[in-house]
């Protein structure tokens, strides 16, 4: 995880980092034991670099943040939710191509 560009999202910082963010926030709900999550990690890193300054990128470990996973009804991982203005604007379940995440971000940034 690129520490400079990706924020660890927790129940404790969720409101400040996500809901009150002045820019859209992509949150990757993942777990270390999840193979597809590990495959998605480099894509999330790339997106964090490419959208730096336009989109905040965070990762929430569902094993450690069960409260957040329950709050957003995360039934399978990876699940990526893009928040804008404190609201979930896009939700992508399962590991997808980088282009699908980029397109979702572009829709939110319009």
CATH number of the domain where residue 12 is located: 3.40.30.10
Condensed to tens digits (0 to 9), the pLDDT of residues 29-43 reads 999 999 999 999 999
At residue 4 the predicted structure's pLDDT band, cuts being 50, 70 and 90, is low
Residue 28 lies in a domain: yes
CB contact at 8 A, 54 and 21: no
Question: For the chain, how many structural domains are there in total?
Answer: 1
pLDDT digits (tens, 9 = 90+) for 92-102: 999 999 999 99
Per cent of the chain over pLDDT 90 is: 95
Q: Is 37 helix (H, G, I), strand (E, B) or coil?
A: helix
Write the DSSP string, 61-96.
ETTT-HHHHHHTT--SSSEEEEEETTEEEEEEES--
pLDDT score at 2: 47
Mean pLDDT of the chain: 95
Q: For residue 46, is it within any domain?
A: yes
Mapped onto helix, strand or coil, the DSSP state of residue 30 is strand
Which of 39-72 are b and which e, b meaning 16 or more Cβ less than 10 Å from the residue's Cβ?
ebbebbeebbeebeeebbbbbbbbeebeebbeeb
**Does residue 1 register a pLDDT over 70?**
no
Looking at residue 82, what is its pLDDT?
A: 98
Residue 37 belongs to a domain: yes
Residue 26 CA to chain centroid, in angstroms? 4
Catalytic residues: 34, 37
| Across 55-77, average pLDDT | 97
* Domain containing residue 22: 6-109
Q: Is residue 1 part of a domain?
A: no
Contact 80, 34 (CB under 8 A): no
Question: Would the pLDDT of 13 be above 90?
Answer: yes
């Amino acid at each position: 995880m690129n520490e400079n560009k990706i924020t660890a999202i927790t129940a404790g910082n969720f409101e400040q980092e996500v809901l009150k963010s002045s820019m859209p926030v992509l949150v990757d709900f993942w777990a270390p034991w999840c193979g597809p999550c590990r495959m998605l990690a480099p894509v999330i890193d790339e997106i964090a670099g490419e959208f730096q300054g336009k989109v905040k990128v965070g990762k929430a470990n569902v094993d450690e943040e069960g409260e957040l996973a329950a709050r957003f009804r995360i039934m399978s991982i990876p699940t990526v939710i893009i928040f804008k203005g404190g609201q979930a604007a896009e939700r992508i379940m399962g590991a997808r191509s980088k282009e699908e995440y980029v397109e979702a971000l572009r829709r939110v940034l319009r």
